[in-house]
Amino acid sequence: MTNGTMGGYVVSTYLSPPGLLAFSAHRHDQNVALWRVDDTRITLVRYWEVERLSGLKHHELPLYDRPEACGRLIDELIGREGLTRADLTEIWGTPGLEITTALPEFDCKGLPVHNLAHVFSGLFMDARAFRSAPIIALAMDGGPDFALEDDVAGDTWYAGAVAHEGNVELTPVESPGLLWHASQRLFGMEPGTLMALAGASPAFVDYDLDVLLGERYWGGHSLMDKCMGLVGDIIEAATAAIRSGIESAEHPFTRDDLIASAVMKIVQAASIAIAKRNVDMLLERSGVDPTEAFLSLSGGFALNCPTNSRLVSAYGFRGLLAPPCANDSGQALGIGLLGFFARGDLSDREVDVRLPYAGEDRLRTSAAKQRWDSRILGVQDFDEEVFVADIQRHPVAWVDGAAEIGPRALGHRSLLGDPRRMETKRVLNRVKQRQWWRPVAPIVLEDHVADWFVDGRPSPFMLETFLIAPEYQTLVPAIAHIDGSARIQTLSAADEPFLAGALQAFHRESGVPIICNTSLNDRGEPIVNEAGEAVNFCVRKGIAVAYIERRRYLLDVSQPDLLPDEPQQRPLAQLYADQEKHPAVLFGPDAAPEVLYLLYFWPSLRRLAGKPNGEAKLKAAAQLIAKKDGQFWTRVDGFASYWQSLLEGKITHGQIDTL
């Protein structure tokens, strides 16, 4: 790598470290960012989410047995941009690699780097606002990975900040993330599914919200257990109150669905109240007038659109600053911005993050045409009238340019449909193997958002929810939640002129400035990256029309017995599959999972790892803890079982979560 901090390229990474840290510094949704640093500007050149390259949803599988493999992964990625390590000045974010350089020194105020990275990923969604206007920032998620800490100062896991004119004052805040973490474990559903289910049914249970709000949610492993108990108590109350499901030919709910829906309404109400406590605290301490300030939200909880909109509206903030990759898929973004801020690069440079379309732009369409030649019936240039006719008949695939980053499709790797037909929602949920009640989000022409949605405002990354204007609700049934709201993405010609032109054509024909938009992926599959993966999806799922690189592909989706039965293998799948699936540290005769568990819970003990008698001391510490904690060995067994099942491919992230 080259020396110096001026000019050149920087890579920021959020990868699992190799060796023991692979299992004790738990990282999912791994990602890598490439930056170019010039005299006057810092530009995000490319952003890679590892799941899109490995095919492993929420990718958390580490390259644990080959330290050099992480280096090869980075080489492969920057090589796609025509670079080598010699072009890099820094590689930040993943410890344990010979090629990694330390983050610049920065006063973290005792807060984890993980959550500071979230904070900075939100603050710099608008660099001009960062330098000129007050910003109230909250980073709320389930918890940090502690990979970059040698020690943890107390149980303050979550970071907030007040920023003004380029200065940042950090402070601990609360997060409702562990309530959602507990709900995920107890119901076996992802937070996004639980959020949708909360508003999908009328189920309700009478529960004293003050029981939840009497707790303070600063973080800590002990808070995990408390949240499991708190959510468990709500489940018990809902189970006693809800005796049956709803039998309906079109809208059935099982009893379990209704119990989960009722419980998540309580969790959601508590979450909003916790977030408001944070905002009240930061406003009181800073004296900031919210009507003159922006609200910045990041961390996984920032994907909770109803909360985001409630906060902006309740306090009258000027607007929302939140990245499309608000969850851990945005860690490399935040680590890079934190590093640049810490070394002073952002005081006199513009920041161009080019979001949301910073992902991979190698569609490899020629290879897809070769692979699927027998299934491609015709290819023609884009025609607005044909597109409008297509989308009115049946949902279509849409693949164009660089991929959007983050967990939500924003019009470059999407399935698009007609919002006026409830059949569109049914088809989209069927092909994606989702529950019938899952809502479908809309893309809305920005010029019309204020007319079609109550208090509607720009929401380019699909991070806010608004009520559909009453006079229009019956016109767009496919996008409406049970309460008449929708989670929207606004779009203008300045954002994405080609897709905006297609939507304008639909508007001219239908009178509706809205189309349905959901991500182009199957259940348990990451969003597609390349053209071949998109065609594979279409022929498996009966999507006969795909728009790829601004051309219309008519596909043969007949003869289902000859169709592939699984997604196309992703480019880097083999890199992870070639690892030893039974590493001795977890499967061998001398395996000591209690050591890994201690290193996970107490990062300060990592200084003993690899030292003479270090393992013996850690085992002795485990024995002492077990004498005081009757559940210790049960927790260790669960920890080991999780990793063993993950390495053997029996589960993927989120199916069983004992960490």
Q: To which residue do tokens 């009722």 refer?
A: 262
Please report the pLDDT score of residue 143 as a whole number: 92
Which has the closest alpha carbon to 56: 579, 593, 585? 579
Please report the pLDDT score of residue 152 as a whole number: 66
Q: What is the pTM of this model?
A: 0.95
Q: What is the pLDDT of residues 272-316, one digit of tens each?
A: 999 999 999 999 999 999 999 999 999 999 999 999 999 999 999
Tokens encoding 254: 């099982």
Asked whether the predicted pLDDT for residue 15 surpasses 50, the reply is: yes
32: part of which helix (H) or strand (E)?
A: strand 31-37
Please report the pLDDT score of residue 659 as a whole number: 42
Asked whether the predicted pLDDT for residue 81 surpasses 90, the reply is: yes
Asked whether the predicted pLDDT for residue 153 surpasses 70, the reply is: no
376: part of which helix (H) or strand (E)?
A: strand 376-381
Q: What is the pLDDT of residues 370-394, one digit of tens each?
A: 999 999 999 999 999 999 999 999 9
- Which range has the worst mean pLDDT, 137-141, 224-228, 248-252? 248-252
560 pLDDT tier (thresholds 50, 70, 90): low
Please report the pLDDT score of residue 78 as a whole number: 97
Averaged pLDDT, 416-433: 96
Burial class, 224, CB count within 10 angstroms (exposed 0-12 / middle 13-18 / buried 19+):
middle
654 pLDDT tier (thresholds 50, 70, 90): low
657 pLDDT tier (thresholds 50, 70, 90): very low
Which has the closest alpha carbon to 330: 512, 93, 164? 93
Going edge to edge, which strands form the sheet with 8-14?
88-92, 8-14, 31-37, 41-49, 350-352
Averaged pLDDT, 597-614: 84
Q: Is the separation of the CB atoms in 156 and 148 below 8 Å? A: no
Which residues share a beta bridge with 519?
Answer: 414
Please report the pLDDT score of residue 140 as a whole number: 98
> Percent of the chain, pLDDT > 90?
78
Neighbours of 505 (CB within 10 A): 17
- What 3-state class would DSSP assign to 491? strand
Please report the pLDDT score of residue 149 as a whole number: 84
- Which range has the worst mean pLDDT, 45-59, 214-228, 332-346, 549-563? 549-563
Q: What is the pLDDT of residues 334-359, one digit of tens each?
A: 999 999 999 999 988 999 998 999 99
Please report the pLDDT score of residue 453 as a whole number: 98
Which range is most confident: 320-329, 477-486, 580-589?
320-329
Q: Are strands 158-164 and 41-49 parallel, antiparallel or unpaired?
A: unpaired
Which has the closest alpha carbon to 488: 439, 545, 541? 439
Averaged pLDDT, 124-146: 94
474 pLDDT tier (thresholds 50, 70, 90): very high
Tokens encoding 567: 């997604």
Length in residues, the chain:
659
Tokens encoding 123: 């603050």
SS3 readout for 197-263: HHCCCCCCCCCCHHHHHCCCCCCCHHHHHHHHHHHHHHHHHHHHHCCCCECCCCCCECHHHHHHHHH
Regarding the domain delimited by 365-562, which CATH topology (the fold level of the hierarchy) does it fall under?
DHBP synthase (3.90.870)
Provide the CATH number for the domain formed by 8-102+328-352 in this structure.
3.30.420
Please provide the DSSP assignment of 115-174 as one string. Answer: HHHHHHHHHTTSHHHHHHS-EEEEE--S----TT-S---SS--EEEEEEETTEEEEEEE-
Any idea where the domains of the chain sit in the sequence? 8-102+328-352, 177-275, 365-562, 584-647
Asked whether the predicted pLDDT for residue 480 surpasses 50, the reply is: yes
Please report the pLDDT score of residue 355 as a whole number: 94
Q: Is the separation of the CB atoms in 279 and 311 below 8 Å? A: yes
| Mean pLDDT value across the chain | 93
Which has the closest alpha carbon to 454: 468, 475, 473, 471? 468
